[in-house]
Amino acid sequence: MEKKEAGKIKESLKTAADWIKKKDKFALISHYDADGLTAAGIMGKTLQRENKEFKTKNVKQLYSETVKEIQTMGENFIFTDFGSALIPKIEKNFKGKWIVLDHHQPKTKEQDSESHVNPAFFGLDGGKEISGSGLAYLLAKEMSEKNKDLSALAIVGAVGDMQDFSGKLIGKNREIMEDGIKEGVLGVKNDLRLYGRISRPLTQFLCYSSSPILPELTANEQKCSEFLKTHKIELREGEQWRSYEDLDAGEKQKLASAIAMHLAEHNTPEWKIRSMIGEVYTLKNEELKSPLRDAKEYATLLNACGRHAQPEIGLSVTMGDREEEFEKAILLLAQHRKELRAGIELMQSRGVEEYENFYFFDAGNEIKDSIVGIVAGMLYGSGAIPGNKPVIAFAMHEDKTIKVSGRGTQDLLRKGLNLGQALKDVCAELGESAEGGGHKIAAGCRIEEKEKEEFLKILDTKIKENYT
Ligand SMILES: [Mn+2]
């Protein structure tokens, strides 16, 4: 039964592909994170190859001003990696001239429009089996088999949305990965999954690890270099700083077990240690030392662009720029890392408040609202908080509303946590001014400052109710 359902998504994508072939002058609107930027890159490339005219815009949300601007951008409208929660609004403003490809929880159980493609309508899990960029890729493949080289970008998007959290890609993501391997654009192997294995010098590789945070090592370069020396791993080869990829098989294994041992000594749960090893994805057409060579590093670079309000730079990179825009993206990545590190240090020094069903901290103006969710996620495993409850963080947005970010752990997910639903429920109770939602493991919403206290109180009961 389920297989048959999943087959129908192909029909739905075919309908969308046929519509695109018949139309021209598109506005391509996508979410501003790694998944959204790769989705836009895939669609952009696809439209280019069909000789279609198009303009692009990457947004965080669909505000009324944005709607007006989008209406002037083209005659037909493609929304990727967002839109499922906004179908009535989109239909009202873009009457019959739109398609939405999104994997976030839709508002209806049944497909509400044939222009609306969401894996949830077809028995697929949009949290782990396919992402926004994956949908864009499947559509591109419906348009033409020659678009199969874009599969590597779809994998960057999936990894950006952490759909590889179990240690490997599953479902449709896995089929896309196999396309990439067959096309020769993607490599996959089991290895240490710390961030920066290709482009970071070893010391920084340990120092900036956020998943997992390495107790006493994260954010401490001195200790990291001592740790490597203790385990007799050379930091340099001649003039060159070595990266993890430069190590030989024996050294790699030595380092991986040293890290595992270190984590075990610091009471990191075993599942977390095990999750350090898993699939890593290599983009074979990228330069050997480029951050774009590794799917996770590529995704982080794109997120850095989006979070610094310059998604167009990231989009240029996904569309193929490896010169000026790429250089700008590299600078944004460095800045992003600096801000994350400052955020973690702040939270570690201040500590968090504990509620019955979650941990909480209010970053106020001290951590940007665009990165507060990542910082919250990084607190797990750092020793700052144990993984037994989700963590909720507040940060002040420039318009003085409060951005709420929630993060859970894979352990909590296994226990049935649905953070997206919990936040949605609280917002529903607070009334129309608040809106919220997201995924089971990571979700967010926006509230008014005066609602803070009430929000926390209601949330304590809603989280408890949303373990299924
Ligand atoms: Mn996404």
pLDDT at 281: 98
* Mean of pLDDT values over 438-453: 91
* Mean of pLDDT values over 165-182: 96
Boundaries of every domain in the chain = 2-163, 192-343, 351-465
User: Rounded to an integer, what distance in angstroms lies between the CA atom of residue 196 and that of residue 7?
Assistant: 37
User: Rounded to an integer, what distance in angstroms lies between the CA atom of residue 467 and that of residue 246?
Assistant: 44
242 Cα: distance to centroid of ligand 1 (angstroms):
33
* Mean of pLDDT values over 212-235: 86
Among 94-103, 190-199, 313-322, the least confident range: 190-199
Q: 413 falls in which pLDDT band (50, 70, 90)?
A: confident
Whether 403 has a pLDDT exceeding 90, the answer reads: yes
pLDDT digits (tens, 9 = 90+) for 49-76: 999 999 999 998 888 889 999 999 999 9
Q: 209 falls in which pLDDT band (50, 70, 90)?
A: confident
Instruction: Indicate the helix (H) or strand (E) that contains 192.
Output: strand 186-192
- Among the listed residues 168, 136, 176, the one whose alpha carbon sits nearest the alpha carbon of residue 152: 176
More confident residue, 369 or 318: 318
Whether 115 has a pLDDT exceeding 70, the answer reads: yes
61 Cα: distance to centroid of ligand 1 (angstroms):
13
User: Rounded to an integer, what distance in angstroms lies between the CA atom of residue 18 and that of residue 283?
Assistant: 30
Whether 4 has a pLDDT exceeding 60, the answer reads: no
* Mean of pLDDT values over 71-93: 96
Number of Cβ within 10 Å of residue 335's Cβ equals 12
More confident residue, 264 or 432: 264
User: Rounded to an integer, what distance in angstroms lies between the CA atom of residue 25 and that of residue 275?
Assistant: 45
241 Cα: distance to centroid of ligand 1 (angstroms):
35
Q: 2 falls in which pLDDT band (50, 70, 90)?
A: very low
Q: 210 falls in which pLDDT band (50, 70, 90)?
A: low
Q: What is the pTM of this model?
A: 0.82
Whether 216 has a pLDDT exceeding 80, the answer reads: no
103 Cα: distance to centroid of ligand 1 (angstroms):
7
State the average pLDDT for the chain. 92
431 Cα: distance to centroid of ligand 1 (angstroms):
26
160 Cα: distance to centroid of ligand 1 (angstroms):
8
3-class secondary structure, 443? strand
Whether 1 has a pLDDT exceeding 70, the answer reads: no
User: Rounded to an integer, what distance in angstroms lies between the CA atom of residue 288 and that of residue 272?
Assistant: 29
237 Cα: distance to centroid of ligand 1 (angstroms):
39
424 Cα: distance to centroid of ligand 1 (angstroms):
18
Amino acid in the structure at residue 381 = G
CATH top class, domain 2-163: alpha beta
- Among the listed residues 398, 401, 415, 411, the one whose alpha carbon sits nearest the alpha carbon of residue 444: 401
* Mean of pLDDT values over 83-92: 95
92 Cα: distance to centroid of ligand 1 (angstroms):
24
131 Cα: distance to centroid of ligand 1 (angstroms):
5
3-class secondary structure, 294? strand
36 Cα: distance to centroid of ligand 1 (angstroms):
6
100 Cα: distance to centroid of ligand 1 (angstroms):
13
Q: Contact at 8 Å (CB) between 192 and 257?
A: no
| Percent of the chain at pLDDT exceeding 70 | 96
Q: 220 falls in which pLDDT band (50, 70, 90)?
A: confident
191 Cα: distance to centroid of ligand 1 (angstroms):
25
71 Cα: distance to centroid of ligand 1 (angstroms):
23
Supply the DSSP symbol for 105.
P
Q: Both ends of the chain: CA-CA distance in Å?
A: 24
Could you tell me which CATH number the domain at 351-465 has? Answer: 3.10.310.40
